[in-house]
Structure 1
Amino acid sequence: MNPRITLVGPAHPYKGGGARHTTELAHHLAGAGHRTRIESWAAQYPSALYPGEQTITAPEGEPFADTRHALAWYRPDGWWATGRRLARSEDLVVLTLFSPVQVPAYLGVLAGLRSVRGRRARVVVLCHNVLPHERRAVDVSLVRALLRRVDGVLTHTDEQAHLAEGLLGFGRRRPLVASMPPHLPETGGERAHPGGEAGERRHLLFLGIVRPYKGVDVLLRAMAEGVPGDVTLTVAGEFWGGSEETVALIRRLGLVDRVHLREGYVPAEELPKLFAEADAMVLPYRAATASQNVWLAHEHGLPVVATRAGALADHVREGVDGLLCAPDDVADLARVLAEFYRPGVPERLRAGVRPVDAEPYWKAYIERLLEA
């Protein structure tokens, strides 16, 4: 008999890849015959801990009908009550972990689950990030406490599994690994340059939340060091903690006329225009777990210039639909960007881009989740 499953995590109206992943996972589990529900948030984080807008008005994909928004970071009684309710009805509870800020609520849910005698629900933590890229000492203690209290752990890369294994300690069941499946926003746009359309835009795109580990400063220095002077760049996304340092660096590097900051969350309907104006997406990450941005660029016909951080390189066929460089290396990124703009290279790489086939990824992912 198929297990009854509840996913605990963000869903619309929360924005971004986390909410899309939770929602798509629910759709695919239901499509595989599992009775599936989502327990989502009425208030996920205190505003002081998340400086941007947390929610959006228009969904970026089909919402999952059986979604409940009852959890709130400021209602511990609700965490416990949710756990008790799930203990009586579910076979599997999946806690989606993005940040240690979620851990107190998840520990409350676990306490509610364990307060019910004869409970049947097993609990798996699905780690999008085992620990933050920029972490505090308390983060390690919180995540360790969560991982040691559940029945299984699923991560998206071998590196993340190794990190989780260190927190679990000796003698515990090892974390499992499943490649992150595609969960792209529905943009309603056509591919940016269908069929390898000729002509260069002499323009590059960075898309996503701007945080230190994403390496935008490395990209700006590479632009100043070795990229042809007529090539421009758009940095589109929310700036974690403000854009003042980035603006100051742009001025110091003499890039004011070449770099445009499009600050704020980019809704799905604006993505086709950004992609249509660019020759490539650049992912200059210092560190990474798994990212949708390679597939998102390919979905819109763009090649990708990325570092070999985390799983980014797994989805780039070097020399076919993108180019790769070392992480946190200004000179190597400048070299690769200069190589990208050699005559004929943008057109050749664009012609090699193919959209991802999502279904095999999702099938393998669900099998691994149930195994965990």
Structure 2
Amino acid sequence: MDLKLESFTRLYPDLLYPGKNDRDPEGGNPAVAARYMLDTLNPLSWRRLGTHPATTTVMPAWTFFVAPMLGAIARRVRKNGGRVVMIVHNVADHDRGGWKARLMNWQLKAADGFITHTEELARELRDAGHLQPITVVSHPPYADFPEAKGTLPRTHRLELLCFGLVRSYKGVDIALKSLASAAINDVRLTIAGEIWNDREELLALAASEELAGKVEIIDRYVSDQETAELFARCDAVVAPYRAVTGSGVLALASRYRRPVVVSDLPGFAGLVDHGRTGWLFPVGDDAALAHLLRNTITREAALAMNANLEQTGDGNDWDKYANAVLALAQPERRI
């Protein structure tokens, strides 16, 4: 199989991208070299890729801003006899709006088939009128992420981690308010990832008297190796999202066998077994999360889940994922 990876010379303009860097400074996976040619603001680059003689094009669907470009490429690919499989992370943006949903729908209409990571997202596609074949396959653990070397020392009895780009819908403020209310000692919450939204509010919460010495903020891109060290050091990963259709953070937690503390959104509830592989609490309820932190979530409780976390990885691998994509690309193929 001849595999080509096309990526972006420019994904977002500076106005829409508050981060410092949208490209992996470590260069990504050397086994598959990316060709950087796509520019979301230059339709000529879309046209060049759309005429590329690929039998199957696999693309993401995740935000309205790139939907016009990806929809145009998909239509050109199909016009030239290729098939298009879309890996759908969002049917509509987290910051929902009517015109944004219409742009997303325009892209999604150009697919021959969809991959989603949850049944909830598959239902959203059907409810939006997309009748193409849909395969639901869980996000596999990131097996290619490195092992930790143990370079980050533990300094607190309980180590918690919020990981990834910090945006309003991810509820990092809920984690901070809950930790302040829980009033527990010898705990550290590490927030690792560029802060895109609500910076002043989050920094003020972290600097409050109740959280003195309990919060570490790493406001920048985090390399794969540093990611490994952060997950290895923590006892549990906290993801108090207000909205979600899937999360790569849970796949990372699975990779490093760490339990998760998540809001009981449909996109999470089917992935977390409360009390066995993590803990669930009502969406947006910082008092409920504070109760869990005060009474239930301990280092010992997290360690006791290790055997259950080992079991959750069985059969949930990248071969299964790749076969699901190929089955949509080649309808006669079976997983």
TM-score interval, smaller chain: 0.7 to 0.9
Q: In the alignment, residue 26 of structure 2 is paired with which amino acid?
A: A
Q: Which whole-Å CA distance do the structure 1 matches of 2:89 and 2:196 have between them?
A: 19
Take 2:314 and 2:60, find their aligned partners in 1: how far apart are those partners?
Answer: 20
Match of 2:114 among 147, 150, 153: 153
Give the corresponding residue for 2:252: 296
Q: Comparing 355-364 with 254-263, which one deviates more in the overlay?
A: 355-364
> Structure 1 69/79 Cα, relative in aligned 2: closer, same or farther at 3 Å?
same
Kindly indicate whether the alpha-carbon contact (under 8 Å) linking 1:301 and 1:350 is maintained by their aligned counterparts in 2: yes
- Judged with a 3 Å threshold, the aligned counterparts in structure 2 of structure 1 residues 98 and 230 are, in CA distance, closer, same or farther, namely same
Pair 1:326 & 2:293 matched: no
- Pairs within 5 Å for 1:309-324: 309-324=265-280
Q: Does 1:54 align with 2:22?
A: yes
Q: Deviations over 1:40-98 (max 9, x none)?
A: 22222222211111012214544414x3322112321121122123xxx3222222122
Unaligned runs of 5+ residues in structure 1 are 1-33, 194-198
Aligned-partner residue type, residue 152 of structure 1: G
- SS of the equivalent of 2:128 reads helix
Measured after TM superposition, the shift of residue 121 of structure 1 is 0.8
Name the SS of the counterpart of 2:104 in structure 1.
helix
Q: 1:218 maps to what in 2? A: 174
Counterpart amino acid of residue 173 in structure 1: Q
Which of 49, 54, 58 in structure 2 is aligned with 1:90? Answer: 54
Q: Secondary structure at the match of 2:305?
A: helix
Q: Which runs of 5+ in 2 are unaligned?
A: 329-335
Give me the whole-angstrom Cα distance separating, in 1, the residues matched to 2:85 and 2:257: 36
Conserved? CA contact 1:190–1:300, under 8 Å? no
Tell me the equivalent position of 1:20: none
Corresponding residue SS for 2:265 = coil
Counterpart AA for 1:158? E
Secondary structure at 1:287's aligned position in 2?
coil
Counterpart residue number, 2:215 = 259
1:249-290 C-alpha deviation (Å, 9 max, x unpaired) = 334573233222221121122234423443222121222222
Distance in 2, Cα, partners of 1:356 & 1:110: 35
Moved more, 96-105 or 314-323: 314-323
The aligned length equals 326
| Residue 76 (1) aligns with residue 43 (2) | yes
Which residue number in structure 1 is paired with residue 164 of structure 2? 208
Question: Secondary structure of the residue that 1:318 maps to in structure 2?
Answer: coil
TM-score, structure 1 as length reference: 0.76
Counterpart mapping for 1:99-118 below 5 A: 99-113=63-77
Structure 1 residues 367 and 343, CA, compared in 2 at 3 Å: closer, same or farther?
closer
Pick the aligned partner of 1:132 from 69, 73, 93. 93
Q: Residues of 1 paired with 2:319 and 2:311: CA distance?
A: 18
Letter in 2 for 1:370: L
Describe the SS at the equivalent of 1:210.
coil
> C-alpha separation between the residues in 2 aligned to 1:109 and 1:64?
21
Matched AA of 1:217: D
Is the CA contact (8 Å cut-off) linking 1:60 and 1:185 kept in structure 2?
A: no
5 Å-filtered alignment, 1:160-309, equals: 160-168=121-129, 172-173=131-132, 175-184=134-143, 186-190=145-149, 201-241=157-197, 243-251=199-207, 254-309=210-265
Question: CA separation in 2, counterparts of 1:227 and 1:310?
Answer: 30
Is the CA contact (8 Å cut-off) linking 1:226 and 1:338 kept in structure 2?
Answer: yes
Give the equivalent residue in structure 1 for 2:7. 40
1:178 positional shift: 2.4
Give the distance between the partners of 1:343 and 1:206, measured in 2 at CA.
Answer: 16
CA contact (8 A) 2:166 2:196 kept: yes
> Which SS does the other structure have where 1:49 is aligned?
coil
Compute the displacement of 1:111 (Å): 4.7
Task: State the identity %.
Answer: 30
Q: How far does residue 227 in structure 1 lie from its aligned partner after superposition?
A: 4.6
Q: 1:151: Cα distance to partner? A: 2.2
SS at structure 1 position matched to 2:279? strand
How far off its partner does 1:242 sit?
Answer: 5.5
Structure 1 residues 39 and 325 mapped into 2: Cα distance closer, same or farther (>3 Å)?
Answer: same
In the TM superposition, what whole-angstrom CA distance separates every residue of 1:302-352 from its partner, at most 9, and x where no partner exists?
332222224434443433342222221112211222233468424423565
Q: Distance in 1 between matches of 2:321 and 2:56?
A: 16
SS in 2 for 1:305: strand
Residue 40 and residue 346 in structure 1: after superposition, are their counterparts in 2 closer, same or farther (change >3 A)?
A: closer
Which whole-Å CA distance do the structure 2 matches of 1:174 and 1:299 have between them? 29
SS of 1:173 mapped into structure 2 = coil
Contact 1:152 1:175 in 2 (8 A): yes
